[in-house]
Chains A and B, each alone.
Chain A
Amino acid sequence: MGPLREDALRRAEPAAPPGPRTPRAGLLALGLGLALVLALTAAVCLGPTDLAPGQVWSVVLRRLGGTPPRPGTDDLIVWQLRVPRALLAALVGAGLGLVGTAAQALVRNPLADPYLLGISNGASLGAVAAIVLGAGGSSGLGLPAAAFAGALGSFALVWGVARRGGGFSPLRLVLAGVGIGQFLSGFTSYLVLQAGDEQQTRSVLFWLMGSLSGATWSVLGPPALALAAGLLALMARARPMNALLMGEETAAGVGVDVTRLRRELFVVTGLLTGVLVAVSGAIGFVGLMVPHLCRLVIGGDHRRLLPLSALTGALLLVVVDLVCRTAMDTQELPVGVVTAMIGAPALLFVLDRRTAVGR
């Protein structure tokens, strides 16, 4: 043994810095947290009427402190309109970052997207049915409820198809998700064509491209709860998820019940995606891009990757929504349009860099 070990050491290249990269991840989380607070502040300050950060924080602190608000437009704009919207952007962004990470571990593909599993297509069908057939009306919780019902329906269908043959294999999941997703979006397209008037078509398209304009305080509860529960459930499985990345056999060898883990990840991903899509429409690219970028910066360990993806997703969507609200004077841009316009080039840049580095 002795000679071999020495020899192996002698041949070894100059050692890289040993140990995990935890301190860097901690600093990064702190930086992202601060940036998120700044972005939220900016999101509440800017709009058709610009407010100073001081005004904004005084309203927020009065409200949080339980002091009765000063009557006036400041309170209305800040507390009733912009704060819920900024918070919804943060919640949805964080959720998308989280489900993206989970979906990528679930199907063991770093380019997987939560929408690959077909959940968003069901939600879209539900929402569009509500708008066009007038089932839920366009007011109150009718639209999110219809979208969530659609999400649950497609989740059940994908589950039913994917579990056959036992084992929830990545390939079956993706094929079931894509197949059922396409099937459902066929119905959605049909409904869009049946839409009665231009106004309906517009609101359908707007919803399909993702929008946070429905934000009110009453909408925030479900995504906040779902995000907290999802983060907890995924963090509890962070190590088994790491093992799954190495392969099913490796995971089994270190004591992971692979089929059960996949089932649990699918449930968490499906339900959280359903809630997010229900309140915001199908916002693309965040779930694909955010985990991928985070992985390049802090590595693939899910104990760090999950919380940092959530933070990054929140920050990204708050900024993007701010751009969407303020870029044009006359109308809002759908969030999904801007995430795609930023996301696709960012992804191509990342791919290009990876190829250039040469692996």
Chain B
Amino acid sequence: MNVAIEDLHVGYAGRDVVSGVRLIAAAGETAGLVGPNGSGKSTVLRTVYRHLRPTAGRVLLAGTDLRTLTPGQTARRVAALPQERGSDFELTVHEVVAMGRMPYQRAFAGEGRADREAVADALAAVGLAGHGGRRFAALSGGERQRALLARAFAQDPDVLVLDEPTNHLDVRHQVELLALLRARRRTTLISLHDLNAAASLCDRLHVLHAGRVVASGPPREVLTPRLLAEVFGVRAAVTDHPLTGEVLIAYDHREVLPTGDG
């Protein structure tokens, strides 16, 4: 299922945070949103899982305008892994993952067989089989992200939306999470701060800067030293990864470059 974002504007308190974003994620493609802090990545993603409403423009799922779908219908097509961390309300891992089944359940109905199977499959897929009875709050950071990813898998979506899923994870857990995404490929919109990880995972990158898309294309075409200087304000060399042959960005960590917008 492809996702098309058309001329999207989103504002808080009368000020546009995203102004005129246009991008397409083809069916089955992993589209990466990269850009400095405050460039509008999260805001764009929030309109796709309907936490935010666009002030103008629209989001299309396989040609259908999101606004013509109910929240439940949207949730059967789109699953999200937002950045927020759950609060301490004594839920078990199973209960958290089972939330992914909500779009398929009626108010007073119990968990059906399909629900239980989907939850078990999702837990197994992220390596948490048998951990359903543990308290969610007691999980380690890496386990917690995997459990939340399992919730998104349990939702059985056509489109996966992930907002900085590797934040706060150590390198090993970052690689692990991205490997889980590779293993279950589907149309994915993901924002990432780590450009090397984004280049490795994504089919196409969309670079956001001050609420606009300033470059789109395959990672190798988009991530140039010039773009890194202009958008991110850092000096970097772009080479080939000695092990994988993928794009590798090596930053000059000694100083930043002026970016023009301060």
Q: Which residues of A contact B (CB under 8 A)?
A: 1, 4-5, 7-9, 12, 15-21, 108, 110, 235-237, 239-240, 242-243, 245-250, 252-258, 295-296, 299-301, 359
- Cβ of B127 and Cβ of A12 under 8 Å apart? yes
| Most chain B CB atoms below 10 A, which of A237, A243, A300 | A300
- Check B80–A253 contact: CB distance below 8 A: yes
B94 & A20 in contact (Cβ 8 Å cutoff): yes
Q: Can you list 5 residue pairs at the A/B interface with Cβ under 8 Å?
A: A5-B125, A20-B133, A250-B80, A250-B86, A252-B71
Q: Is the CB of B71 within 8 A of A299?
A: no
The answer to whether A256 touches B95 (Cβ under 8 A) is: no
How many whole Å from B46's CB to the nearest CB in chain A?
7
Q: Mark B59-88, 1 if CB is under 8 A from A, else 0.
A: 000000000001111111011111111111
Count of A-B contacts with CB under 8 A? 148
A4 B75 Cβ-Cβ under 8 A: no
Shortest C-beta distance, A345 to chain B (Å), equals 21
CA distance A300 to B89 in the complex (A): 6
For the residues of B in contact with A, the DSSP-based class is: mixed
Q: Let me know if A245 and B183 touch, CB within 8 A.
A: no
> How far, in angstroms, from A227 to B227 measured CA to CA in the complex?
62
A129 CB to closest chain B CB (Å) equals: 39
| A300 contact set on B, CB distance < 8 A | 89-91, 95
Please state if A255 and B71 are interface contacts (CB–CB under 8 Å): yes
A304, chain B: closest CB distance, angstroms: 10
Question: Is B167 interfacial (CB-CB < 8 Å)?
Answer: no
* Given A239-B99, A255-B103, A256-B71, A247-B82 contact (CB < 8 Å): yes
B82→A20 contact, CB < 8 A: no
User: Which residues does chain B contribute within 8 Å of A246, judged by CB atoms?
Assistant: 84, 86-87, 91, 96, 99
Contact between chains at B91 and A245 (CB < 8 Å): yes
Given contact pairs A247-B87, A253-B78, a sample of 13 additional A-B residue pairs in the complex whose CB atoms are under 8 Å apart: A4-B179, A5-B124, A8-B146, A9-B129, A12-B128, A12-B130, A247-B82, A252-B49, A253-B161, A254-B155, A256-B71, A258-B51, A359-B88
- Confirm or deny: B102 has a beta carbon within 8 angstroms of a beta carbon on chain A: yes
A196 to chain B, nearest CB (A): 48
Residues of A near B79 (CB, < 8 A) are 253-254
Partner of A254, one of B70, B100, B129, B137: B100
- The minimal Cβ–Cβ distance linking B187 to chain A, given in whole angstroms, is 16
A110–B88 alpha-carbon span in the complex (Å): 8
The answer to whether A18 and B131 touch across the interface, beta carbons within 8 angstroms, is yes
